[in-house]
């Protein structure tokens, strides 16, 4: 139910504060003048009660800003009509290279919750929080939600190993953990707990929606694992180290990377080395993100009679991946088509469990 009350001057007579909390403004002198002296307390009480009902039903209780579209979609699925969500990222861009803008800072300033990937994933996020100047959203504040809590991270560097000489290495481990749908269950729990703290009145609704969301993700992971079982052990080349969680979940193996080091553009010699690796390992598929060079990926794949495929590294990175679940469905089906087209339906040296 949507209700909007405005005065003749266009100002809202009842609405929401910038922080997203409902407030009521009782009829003032101007309203009484228009109504005349016939206004009665009972009538005012009825009007205010109706107005409160409209406000409570017409707007979200919690204003949320997320760093990524994936986190926005998960929050939407759990929060439903009780949340109002904005995402800083649009989807296709590289998470490492987002520019913090004044418009983003104002968006964060109006939020009750700032939901982010944690670790050193979004190095631009602290700039947003600094510009927003809202204490509750700073690390340690009630409104700062780090969804990486509870995630088992891959590629955690050993002490002293995370140096710039090795390229764009993350100090705490690989940040792309949401590319395993079962990690989405953990992230969903963190978001649910934050929503409950921010809006206790709807805690039961948040919990019920989370349980439904988690069940859908577990079912999705099971279906897609069964779908990829015939391709277990199939080898691929990746452009960037975006995919270890995805490949491990669905039983595939990366044998090389187009980047010589994470975040470093490849030169002709490294591309030639990738071709030789693909030939030596009988690999025919190259995975590339929406923001990386498809031409580089294709130049390697075509030289071995293979295919380069663009997969969605983030929700809305591609139009076919406009929800968290659709991201996995699209990526898995696209990869299967490429493996079938290049004759890599099963790797004989890596039998599927249960084969004779």
DSSP 44-77: HHHHHHHHHHHHHHHS-SEEEEESSHHHHHHHHH
**Percent of the chain, pLDDT > 70?**
77
Between residues 12 and 81, which one has the greater pLDDT? 81
Question: What pLDDT, on a 0 to 100 scale, did the predictor assign at position 16?
Answer: 30
Please tell me the predicted confidence (pLDDT) of residue 344: 66
Stretch 173-199: mean pLDDT, rounded?
Answer: 98
CA distance 183 to 174: 13
Domain edges within the chain: 5-58, 226-341
Q: Which of 94, 117, 90, 91 is nearest to 104 (CA)?
A: 90
H runs (alpha helix) in the chain: 29-35, 41-58, 69-79, 102-109, 125-132, 181-198, 203-228, 244-249, 268-281, 294-301, 324-341
Model confidence pLDDT, tens digit, residues 330-344? 999 999 999 999 986
Select from 217, 252, 249 the least CA-distant residue to 237. Answer: 252
So what's the pLDDT on residue 159? Answer: 75
> pLDDT (tens digit, 9 = 90+) per residue, 137-177?
999 999 999 999 999 999 998 876 666 556 667 789 999 99
**According to the model, what pLDDT value does residue 23 have?**
27
pLDDT above 60: residue 120: yes
pLDDT score of 345: 59
Q: Check whether 207 has a pLDDT greater than 80.
A: yes
**Higher-pLDDT residue of 56, 257:** 257
Q: Can you tell me the distance from the alpha carbon of 107 to that of 86, in angstroms, rounded to the nearest whole number?
A: 8
Portion of the chain with pLDDT greater than 90, in percent: 74
Please check the confidence at residue 301 and state whether its pLDDT lies above 60: yes
Res 33 pLDDT > 70: no
pLDDT reported for residue 54: 41
Look at residue 11 and tell me whether its pLDDT is greater than 80.
no
CATH match for 226-341 among 3.20.20.70, 3.40.50.1980, 3.30.830.10, 3.40.190.10: 3.40.50.1980
Whether the pLDDT of residue 17 is over 80: the answer is no
Strand order in the sheet with 307-310: 253-257, 235-238, 285-288, 307-310
Mean of per-residue pLDDT scores for the chain:
84
First to last CA, the chain: 60
Average pLDDT over residues 31-41: 39
The crossing angle, in degrees rounded to 10, of helices 125-132 and 102-109 is: 60
Global confidence as pTM: 0.80
């Amino acid at each position: 139910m949507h209700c909007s009350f405005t005065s003749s001057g266009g100002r809202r007579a009842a609405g929401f504060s910038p922080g997203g909390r409902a407030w009521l403004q009782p009829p003032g002198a101007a309203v009484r003048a228009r109504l005349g002296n016939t206004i009665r307390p009972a009538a005012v009480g009825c009007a205010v009660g109706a107005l409160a009902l409209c406000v409570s039903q017409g707007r979200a209780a919690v204003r949320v800003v997320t760093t990524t579209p994936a986190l926005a979609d998960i929050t939407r699925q759990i929060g439903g009509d009780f949340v109002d969500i904005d995402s800083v990222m649009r989807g296709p861009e590289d998470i490492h290279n987002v520019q913090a803008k004044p418009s983003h800072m104002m968006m964060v300033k109006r939020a009750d919750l700032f939901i982010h990937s944690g670790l050193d994933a979004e190095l631009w996020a602290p700039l947003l929080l600094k510009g927003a100047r809202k204490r509750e959203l700073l690390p340690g504040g009630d409104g700062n939600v780090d969804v990486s809590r509870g995630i088992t991270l891959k590629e955690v560097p050993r002490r002293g190993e995370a140096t710039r000489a090795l390229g764009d290495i993350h100090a705490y481990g690989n940040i792309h953990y949401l590319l395993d749908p079962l990690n989405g269950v953990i992230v969903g729990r963190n978001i649910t707990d934050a929503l409950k703290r921010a809006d206790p009145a709807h805690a039961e609704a948040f919990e019920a929606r989370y349980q439904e969301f988690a069940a859908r993700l577990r079912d999705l992971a099971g279906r897609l694992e069964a779908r990829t079982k015939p391709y277990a052990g199939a080898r691929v080349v990746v452009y960037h180290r975006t995919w270890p969680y995805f490949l491990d979940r669905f039983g595939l193996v990366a044998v090389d990377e187009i980047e010589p080091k994470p975040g470093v553009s490849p030169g002709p010699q490294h591309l030639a080395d990738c071709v030789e690796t693909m030939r030596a390992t009988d690999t025919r598929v190259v995975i590339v993100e929406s923001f990386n060079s498809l031409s580089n990926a294709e130049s390697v794949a075509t030289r071995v009679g293979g295919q380069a495929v663009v997969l969605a590294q983030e929700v809305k990175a591609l139009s076919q991946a406009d929800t968290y679940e659709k991201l996995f469905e699209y990526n898995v089906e696209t990869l299967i088509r490429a493996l079938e087209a290049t004759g890599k339906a099963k790797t004989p040296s890596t039998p599927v469990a249960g084969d004779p």
